[in-house]
Structure 1
């Protein structure tokens, strides 16, 4: 280790002492370097070390690399959130308005226009940087293609020993068309692959953080328990890449109601992306709620939790009377607050379910506030106490 540190210091012309940060990018390309990470703390505890890699989980599993508890801290990096997107494209004033709780009503139309642009562009840093140059989405096509090609090329790394390269690449090709749907592994996306082949390929891509398999719960009170025997739902890495892959960017740039594009799937997806990126310290995949019975089936788009409550979230346009699944959930739940994300302004309504008259408060929030779901739930809950 001491010899390695001396070589690094010589190469960079910097003494590794005091408050020095050593940044090792794409460390997965060197299994030897990955195996040495734990010894930095033991032999030079004053040195700060950051290692990054796009397939670290896959490589560590395949090579049997692990670290003693407390030696290494993991952070998960996601595509830019809407708030980060605003800062990245120079919309600093809009970013300040977004951070206010509640956001001012007079800023709604402007923030909604910017969020629509975010749904088109997405949060991949290189794409956002290109978009900032001229606010022209056509300038980004080559970057999208490059990213999708690089993902496909990296599949060879993801697939080694666990699934054939051909299967993983084919599964990756059809994933965008299956996003938002509850899936079955057998013949996934009409690929003809058996359950085991599809499941292995999807889980490899999930460990590479190119997609997420989100499982449902049937619970209506805390604690939540996921039902892994039920069909999961797919979340893709980025809404911008998704809209590019599905050729939906023109529709998003047009006058159409966002909730009519792909049946509202993109709206649901971008809300999931914002919820997923809300914490870098824990990879907490979005959860949704289902009730499946012969008499009546129901589904809630997302469930968030905090220390005190379960927060059901629907992503839908229209009046509260159309929220049948949400009404059903609230009749069974002990909670009294539900969230609905749509393209309208902030609005709090008192609602009664049509079946048994259960009363609850429905907080309708603009889509651009999805990352602040918990903050707004807490804000309005405090004012009701």
Structure 2
């Protein structure tokens, strides 16, 4: 399995101003695996400890933050003598250890020669609760589910990634039927590494759904474990409403769709918990397509997406045959899976997607991103019909913009618009 974040970890290791690295991301996106794999490949030794499974870690930082004592205790627990430069120290599920996060300040200030990496499935929730955080003393990376190209690599089609990045659009178009077949599989399987690994191993579609259900159940256990009973109910209600919210023509999140008469105050904390846990993504509306987009953000209107298209398909109970046979997955479900897919790829690249809508008409732009000094309005088309009335009018109304349509069609460059295939998002923005 190959993950693109590996290159970022190499940069971190080689940076002379390196600080302890914090990996953020939802449960089961591959944080533990990448830390251990990176350590095995790039260091002589790995001192790995799971703070949730190891009771002796609970009191490690109670006495003080003496680095020598901490390293001696770590050696006793892991059996690995930590030496500067050639040992990777990994604290997994660090949020389970009192004062664990705060200890990173002392590794940064008093022992910068040691390479320290930490992660936790609910680190974002822990930080959201105001846990003592070493501001300015850590490096941070976000980890997401596998994107489409990582899926290609895992399924043995890594050569096609080179074709996509060649931007030879004629060659890409000849490969599109097979690439779209794999795109259907990606919509169904998703990018959770454990699910992808099992799919590659035995291609058992029922097992894929079983594993996806297990991940969702694990999220449910986290919710119950770390929230009150009433808060847990609200969080589950928000999460459970996502398929219906995204299946609407207008995908703006509506509180009343969760429970009749509901208002923002009833579910704001529930949404924030899911965001902090990395389980959902929030795409806010912008009032104007101007730079910086952050200045024009409208916090009252937004869309919510699941972190992974495969988990969304599982939650929606989308029939396997409709996902994998024919074009149903693109033509049915009102474009739900394709918009989810595009958002997921944009997040993995590093964009913060927004969207735009007109309060006086049904006009809507699916996503708006800021790429360097360019604001790009994006229209997503899952079907062969790629007429883009909203995008055309939007570009006319906002001089200087050039639209981007992401669809099943091949590459086209017009004066006001570029069209790129759904499979080439990462390659286009390279």
Q: TM-score, normalised by structure 2?
A: 0.77
Query: Which residue number in structure 2 is paired with residue 379 of structure 1?
Result: none
TM-aligned CA deviation for residue 131 of structure 1: 0.4
Alignment of 1:300-319 (within 5 A): 300-316=365-381, 317-318=383-384
Alpha carbons 1:171, 1:191 under 8 Å: kept: no
TM-aligned CA deviation for residue 81 of structure 1: 0.5
TM-aligned CA deviation for residue 157 of structure 1: 4.4
The answer to whether structure 1 residue 29 and structure 2 residue 100 are counterparts is no
Query: Which residue number in structure 2 is paired with residue 270 of structure 1?
Result: 341
Query: Which residue number in structure 1 is paired with residue 181 of structure 2?
Result: 113
**1: CA distance between counterparts of 2:289 and 2:178?**
37
Aligned residues: 355
Change in Cα spacing, 1:336 to 1:59, as seen in structure 2 (3 Å) is: closer
Tell me whether 261-270 or 59-68 shows the greater mean CA deviation.
Answer: 59-68
Identify unmatched segments of 5+ residues in structure 2: 1-65
Query: Which residue number in structure 1 is paired with residue 270 of structure 2?
Result: 201
Query: Which residue number in structure 1 is paired with residue 161 of structure 2?
Result: 95
Query: Which residue number in structure 2 is paired with residue 242 of structure 1?
Result: 312
TM-aligned CA deviation for residue 276 of structure 1: 0.8
**1: CA distance between counterparts of 2:156 and 2:98?**
39
Q: Secondary structure at the match of 2:258?
A: helix
**1: CA distance between counterparts of 2:100 and 2:131?**
14
Query: Which residue number in structure 2 is paired with residue 40 of structure 1?
Result: 107
Alpha carbons 2:376, 2:401 under 8 Å: kept: no
**1: CA distance between counterparts of 2:184 and 2:279?**
23
Q: Indicate the RMSD between aligned Cα atoms, in angstroms.
A: 2.2
Change in Cα spacing, 1:191 to 1:169, as seen in structure 2 (3 Å) is: farther
Change in Cα spacing, 1:58 to 1:325, as seen in structure 2 (3 Å) is: same
The answer to whether structure 1 residue 83 and structure 2 residue 149 are counterparts is yes
Tell me whether 75-84 or 50-59 shows the greater mean CA deviation.
Answer: 50-59
Query: Which deviations, in whole Å up to 9, do the C-alpha atoms of 1:14-34 show, x marking residues without a partner?
Result: 221221210111112213322
The answer to whether structure 1 residue 221 and structure 2 residue 290 are counterparts is yes
The answer to whether structure 1 residue 178 and structure 2 residue 178 are counterparts is no
**1: CA distance between counterparts of 2:427 and 2:104?**
35
**1: CA distance between counterparts of 2:84 and 2:218?**
38
Alignment of 1:264-303 (within 5 A): 264-279=335-350, 284-293=351-360, 296-303=361-368
Query: Which deviations, in whole Å up to 9, do the C-alpha atoms of 1:198-241 show, x marking residues without a partner?
Result: 12111111111111221111213323234335421111110011
Query: Which residue number in structure 2 is paired with residue 256 of structure 1?
Result: 327
Alpha carbons 1:212, 1:285 under 8 Å: kept: no
Q: Secondary structure at the match of 2:70?
A: helix
TM-aligned CA deviation for residue 89 of structure 1: 2.2
TM-aligned CA deviation for residue 99 of structure 1: 2.7
